[in-house]
Structures are given as structure tokens and as C-alpha cells.
Structure 1
Amino acid sequence: MSEHTTDEAQHGAAIELENLTKLYPGSAQPAVDDVNMEIKAGEVVIFVGPSGCGKSTTLKMINRLIEPTGGRIRIGGEDVTDIDPVKLRRKVGYAIQSAGLFPHMTVAQNIALVPKMIGWSKTRITARVEELLDLVGLDPGEFRGRYPRQLSGGQQQRVGVARALAADPPVLLMDEPFGAVDPITRDHLQDELIRLQHELHKTIVFVTHDFDEAIKLGDRIAVLREQSHIAQFDTPEAILTNPADDFVSGFVGAGAALKRLNLTRVRDVEITDYPTVTVDDPLQEIFNRLRSSGTNEILLLDKRGRPYKWLRRGDLMRARGSLARAGTLVHDTVTRDATLRDALEAVLTDNAGRAVVTGRRGEYTGVVDMETLMNSVHELLEADRLEALEAQHELEGARAERTHAEQEGEGGGRKA
């Protein structure tokens, strides 16, 4: 991440929830009942649970959009339960579903909202807006003057995250922020959040109803029952391999081994290079490059170095001087922060059995193929098989010890 214009970027702060409770007037039972939780500085914690279990209420009590009925909230060791809630919200970023941008304000004005409220100078605000747009992958020159209605859903969410980060808060609360966008855009936004967190190290509390999203994003996951009672609070891997009870198992669902593909990133496996050409290269040069590459296809990049089309030899023979109608468009790509599950889905939609890997601005960085992904799947399945065998052996050993102890006891009784 580039540095702030005037000061160091602020990393995450620990959050402590102590006996946190919310009882609405007229209700017989609390919506949130006596929640105790410690979230480490710089950690991504996901709240997941059934609709109406109180996960969003718990989240909103952290920045006191909903006032607690009882209990304490500490951020960075400071008890924020009794301080001015408006001042608190300026220190805690908040991103919601559908971005929640003000429609009459430009992108730059939306992002600048909190810095302006807390008295930043115009120069500092302008620099921060530029920095954040760049950080979330939107070209400042192209987007700063646009209005929300001129943006796609994914672009609006990126601006929403930028606005939440504008005053560099140590804590970022996210309430189902990607729930209203299509699945492909959602995957890319999740990857973007993972990349941002590698740079920013904020403390992020994220609400979702999607367990696969929780596995992909969370350092730890809090599986919540009714009234936000904690069923299990652990790492994604621990929950997948050792769910606490049947309630948690219901969230894990079938195919735990395949869900573990969400724990491994594209950057963790081999990414191969592929021969590439650009739209500015002469047709004969493209043909020569393909012939010398030893492959039967080549990747055509656009003027910005982004994947555009796959070209085969037959495509070039039929091109007749123009690539306008030649080749197969690249429809889906993955980033290095995408999970192997994302990559597998992208590969399966591509008849040739590979997916293009891109950088933060969509530029080509390599290719991941089906063979690499299947090897990873087989390794996970084998690890699960060995783990199950080990657990079975431990169970059999415990039974044998118990039987032996019982026999010893019976023998002693007979002697007596």
C-alpha cells in the first residue's frame, strides 16, 4: 500500500465484547444474549448463522448503530460503550449491502465524507481519494467524477469499501457487503478484499449467510445460534474438519473436502506462463509466435495487457487480415488471491481446461490448468482419508484400553 500523504497507515485494533446484550422493548427474549468474544488486532472474523439469529445486530452494536442494552465494548483496549457514538463511528469503517452511496454525490464526494467531517484539509482529502480509488482498483481519472448511477454493482461496492476506509479506521465492519451482486462479481470482490487486507491489516468483522464465503475470507469464523449464542468460534479448517456439533455440521454441509479448496489460494499452486501477443502486433508476427511456441493456441492481450481472446492456428488462417472475429473471448479470469474452488469453477466453464490468472488491474500474469487443480483436490482428499484413518485408529485404541481396563477390573473382583 502506498503511504498516507501526512501520516502512517493505521493497522487493526483488538475488539472485546463482554456480556453484550440487546433486548428490544416489548420482547420477551433478547435479540442478542450475553455475547463474549475477543477479536485480535488485524484479524478477519466472520459472523455466520441462520437468518434472525442476531449476527447483524451484534455487528451494529460494535459501532453503536444499535445501542447495547447491557455489556461492554472495547476497541484497542478503550471502552467505547459510553463515548459519543458519532465520534466512535468516525473511527470504525462500515460497509453494507448495495454500497449505500449517496446518489447526489460523486464518487470522490462519497469517499471524502468522513475525512471532511473530521476536518482534514482539501489537499489531504484529494490525495486520500486518489489513493483509495487506486487501492480498490478503480482509475481515479475515470471514476472520481462519476455518480453512483453511472457505476456497475461491483464498482459501487468498491467505492463503498473505499468510503469505509477513507479516514483510515483500525476497524472495518461489513454487513453482507457482497450479497446483492452476481456470483462472478462477488468472487472478484472477495478476492479484492483479501488483497486489500494483505496490504492494510485492518480488524474486519464481516457478516454473511454464505458459509463458503465465510471459509474463503475468515481467519476465524463465529457460527452463531439464536440470540448470537456462539456454537463454535474457530479457524475455517478446524470447523471443516471438526465441527463442534450437529448444528455446525449443518452449516458445513456435504463435501467438506471440496469446501477446503476455499482454504488454498491460486498463489499457492503452480501458475504456468503462456505465449501471448497483443492486439497491436501484426498478424504475421502473431502467426510466427504461435508456430514457434510449440502450443496449439496463444493468448491475445488488449492494449492494457489484459486477456482478451484465445487464438488457435485455424483462427489465424481464417482471420484474413483482421482479428476482429477470430478466436474465443476470455470470459472468466481469476486473481492470485482467488481460491482453488474459484479457479476450478473457472476452469470447468472453459472447454480447454484452464483459467487465466490476472493482477490487480486485470493484467495477465499466467494460467492455472485442470491438472494442477485436480492434483490439489487429490491431495486434500488423501489428507482427509489419512485423517479419518488416524481418528479411527485413535477410537479403536481408546476402545481397546477401555475393554482392557474393564477386564482388569473384573479379574481383580474375581480374585477378591
Structure 2
Amino acid sequence: MPESPATPESPDAPRGAAAGATLAEAAPGGGAASGASIELEHLTKRYPGTSVPAVDDVSLEIKAGETVVFVGPSGGGKTTLLKMINRLIEPTSGRIRIGGEDVTDMDPVRLRRKIGYAIQSSGLFPHMTVGQNIALVPKMTGWSKSRIKARVEEMLDLVGLDPGEFLGRYPRQLSGGQQQRVGVARALAADPPVLLMDEPFGAVDPITRDHLQDELIRLQHELHKTIVFVTHDFDEAIKIGDRIVVLRDRSQIAQFDTPEAILTNPADDFVSGFVGAGAALKRLNLTRVRDVEIGDWPTVSVDDPLQGIFEALRSGRTNELLMLDRRGRPYKWLRRGDLMRAKGSLAAAGTLVHDTVTRDATLRDALEAVLTDNAGRVAVTGRRGEYTGVVDMETLMNSVHEMLEEDRLDAMEHQQELADQRAGQERDPEAGA
């Protein structure tokens, strides 16, 4: 079952992760729980009647407050490894420590109430409202009614859903993306230090998936949970992971490193196969829209008088305006020629805005949106979809050129290091022995 919020920062943990919490500290009544470290020691799962274990002697350590992504081939044991952390699958042997506490022999139901869990297709109970789904674990752990009510509203707001609008809806009344947001809210509701996510965005369309990934990144900036995320999509792993575990069959670790290190220095041919072609361009997934210059653009509102819009276009520095709806969200791109054909009405004028990006979107997301739109720019939106600026093609291409230049300099530096090593070995043959 699902559950979570966050806190302070430890200097060596990614994204300002907290120093770490134990499971005991996630109990109701305390402040927001920070992330907790996870240690897996010689973890093995062997199913009866099989000669080869599904997970074979895996040991790894995840820092408090970081996002670690498991990626590997289908059937390789990723999900089995994830489910052993909250003991939805019991390990055959090995130990599990969370926040330094050995949970291998803890009551599994009590353990799961203190670990958030989000899965593909949200896993919401169809007979319960959104509010009842989110309240489920806090209610089971004994929270008061007033605290549960406040927490449910807080969680909906946190994932960008208006409590007044969504609290009483049923899952069937939500879009796929909205269901996944509610699933994450439910997983965070009881404020656990650890959040496990098993292909949580795999069942939605690519555009919704991008936005959900951005939302998770934004949430992690606020909450600093320890997130373990399973995916088969290496681009998704690069985008959201502080570190990535590339797994072979039986969950054998091929490489456990940062996205940058895996892209620039894959451990072997197996890892290189996951990286695939275009490693330099994949690095666009490592830079966020917030890291580049976000420009401004002339805007008007749907409520502005037609004459005022004409004047704004005539006197503007561009031949295009961005029309915002009554909530300040991007609605239409208007060109001068559109207004000439408007004939007193904007109903049929302009081009609807199909693609936007958030500040937490990657430069790859922004580049794809710009190329899809074919107009050289994309609108940037805030938490509730409100307009905050634009990113244009020139800014994106400058970033690409900078990355390619960095890669070229890194390659030259690496070649020089190899040359220096060879020269040193020629001078002192025993040094290389």
C-alpha cells in the first residue's frame, strides 16, 4: 500500500537530501519525514522448482534522499528486487536495512505502511473516491480525522490537483495522468521516508508521461524522499535519477553510477547497449529548462478587447502574441495575419497551444516541443499550468553546442591521460605491472 513529505539537507546527498530518517521517525505525530538510507546485503530470491535464482546475491547502498533508478532487460528481476525492499516478495536470504534499521524480520504489514508504493496504472481502488484513496494509509495508521482531512487536501495540492474539484471524484472520472498523480499522492500521504515506484508512468501517453516525470522531479525538490524507481526506459532513468543501477539478468549489477558517468563512460558493452546511439544528445536529459535563460513573450488575455489585441500586435517586437486563458494558461498563438481574418471574432483565429514545458522539464523535452511546433519556441508553465515565459530554439541550440564542446574537450583530455600513462610505462615498465 502507498504513502509521504520532507526536510533538511545533507551536503553530500543529491538534490539537498536530508541526513536520513529511520522508519520509527516516520510514525504519525512527528514532523515531515526526510529520506532514509537503504542497504541491501547479499539479497537473493529463489523460487521453488527453479534452478536459477530470480535475484542473485545483490548488495547495494542507496543514500538518504536520493533518487535511484533500476533499469535492465525485461524479466531480469528489477521488480522482484524492488518488491523485496518492502517485502511484498520475501527474500530467500540476505538482509534489508532502512535508515540503519534491519527490517528483514519486521512485521511486513507494519513495514509497508511506512514505505510509499506507486505502481503502473495507479492501483487506485475504483469503489473509493480520490479522498478516500489518499486517506487509506493514514487512517490505517491511526491518524485523527482532522489530520487526515488536512493531509489529503495538502497532498492533492502538492501534485497539482485542486482539492475542491477532485476530492469527491472516483478514479473512473479521472484521466490517466490524473490517476497517476493521485497514486503518487496516496503513496506520499502517510509521510514515509522511502517511496518505491514500479513503472509508474508506463501506461500513459508520451506527453503526459513527460509532465508526470517533471512533476516527480519537482516533488523531490520539495520533499527529499529516498526514491527507488523501476523502468525499462533508459531515457527516463537519465532524466529522473541521481544515480542509475543498470541490471543484468538475475539483477546482477552491471554499473551503478550517475547518469553523466554512465553516458560518458559505460562500464562494458552491455551498458553501452542501454545507452545506445547519440550519448551526447541524451545529455540533454541532464539539463533542466530552469538552468537556461527563460525569455519573455508578448501576451494578451482572452478577455482583452479585440482592438487592444490589434494594437499589441502592431506595436510589438514580434509578429506573434501568446493569448492566455482566464487562468493565465497558454491558449493560442496569434499572428498578425490571423487577426486580419478574425472579422471581429477571435473564435477561429490563431493556433491552439498543444505543447508546453515546465521549469523541471529537460532540454530534450523542450527541443522536441519546439521541433513539433515548428515555430522556434515553446511556452514554459508553472505548477498549475500558468504561463511563466518561453524557451526558444537559439537558446536550446547554444546549450547543445556547449555540451558537444564539453564532450570534445573531455575526449581530448582522456586521450591525453592515456598518452601520459603509456609514456610513463615506457619510462618505467615496472610501474604498469
TM class by shorter chain equals over 0.9
Q: CA deviation at 1:146?
A: 0.7
- Partner in structure 1 of residue 392 of structure 2: 369
Deviations 1:139-166 (A, max 9, x none): 1111111111111110000000000001
Matched, 1:290 2:294: no
Extract unaligned runs of 5+ from structure 2: 8-27
The equivalent of 1:412 in structure 2 is none
- The DSSP-based 3-state class of the residue aligned with 2:179 is helix
**Match for residue 331 of structure 2?**
308
Q: Give the superposition deviation at 1:301.
A: 0.1
2:109 counterpart letter in structure 1:
V
Equivalent position SS for 1:173: strand
Match of 2:39 in 1: 16
Q: Which has the higher mean CA deviation after the structures are superposed, 312-321 or 140-149?
A: 312-321
Once the two structures are superposed, residues 354-395 of structure 1 have per-residue CA deviations (whole angstroms, 9 ceiling, x without a partner) of 111000100000000000000000111111111111112222
Match of 2:21 in 1: none
Match of 2:128 among 82, 92, 105: 105
1:338 is aligned to 361
- Letter of the 2:355 partner, please give it: D
Task: Confirm or deny: 8 A CA contact 1:18 1:35 kept in the other structure.
Answer: yes
Q: Give the match for residue 97 of structure 2.
A: 74
**Preserved contact between residue 263 and residue 339 of structure 1 (Cα < 8 Å):** yes
SS of aligned partner of 2:341: helix
TM-score, normalised via structure 1 length:
0.95
1:397 offset after TM fit, Å? 2.6
Q: Equivalences for 1:199-210 in 2 at 5 Å?
A: 199-210=222-233
Q: Distance in 1 between matches of 2:422 and 2:34?
A: 50
Residue 211 of structure 1 corresponds to 234
* 1:92 partnered with 2:115: yes
Give me the TM-score of the superposition, normalised by structure 2: 0.92
Equivalence for 1:317: 340
Mapping 1:389-408, distance limit 5 Å: 389-405=412-428
Q: Over residues 45-80 of structure 1, what are the superposed CA-to-partner deviations in whole Å (9 max), with x where a residue is unaligned?
A: 000000111110000000000001101101111111
Q: 1:351 to 1:401 in 2, by over 3 A?
A: same
Letter in 1 for 2:200: P
C-alpha distance in 2 between matches for 1:399 and 1:76 = 45
Matched, 1:299 2:322: yes
Which of these residues, 216, 221, 225, is aligned with residue 193 of structure 1?
216
Question: Which structure would you say has the larger Rg?
Answer: 1
Number of equivalenced pairs: 406
Residue 216 (structure 1) shift: 0.2
State yes or no: 1:142 paired with 2:142.
no
Deviation, 1:313, is 1.0
Please state how far the C-alpha of 1:406 moved relative to its aligned partner: 5.9
Report the AA paired with residue 118 of structure 1.
T
Alignment of 1:23-42 (within 5 A): 23-42=46-65
Root-mean-square deviation over aligned CA pairs: 1.5
Higher mean C-alpha deviation, range 393-402 or range 325-334: 393-402
Gaps of 5+ in 1: 408-416
Asked if structure 2 preserves the Cα contact closer than 8 Å seen for 1:22 and 1:33, the reply is yes
Retained in 1: the 8 A contact 2:134–2:189? yes
Moved more, 284-293 or 255-264: 284-293
Q: 1:61 to 1:118 in 2, by over 3 A?
A: same
Aligned to 1:414: none
Note closer, same or farther for the CA distance 1:7–1:405 as it changes in structure 2 (3 Å cut). Answer: closer
Identity %: 83
1:333/1:346 contact within 8 Å kept: yes
CA contact (8 A) 2:6 2:35 kept: no
* SS of alignment partner, residue 112 of structure 1: helix
Counterpart of 2:147? Answer: 124
SS of match in other structure, 1:349: helix
Partner of 2:302: 279
1:211-233 CA distance string (max 9 Å, x none): 00000000000001111111110
Does the residue aligned with 2:113 lie in a helix, a strand or coil?
Answer: helix
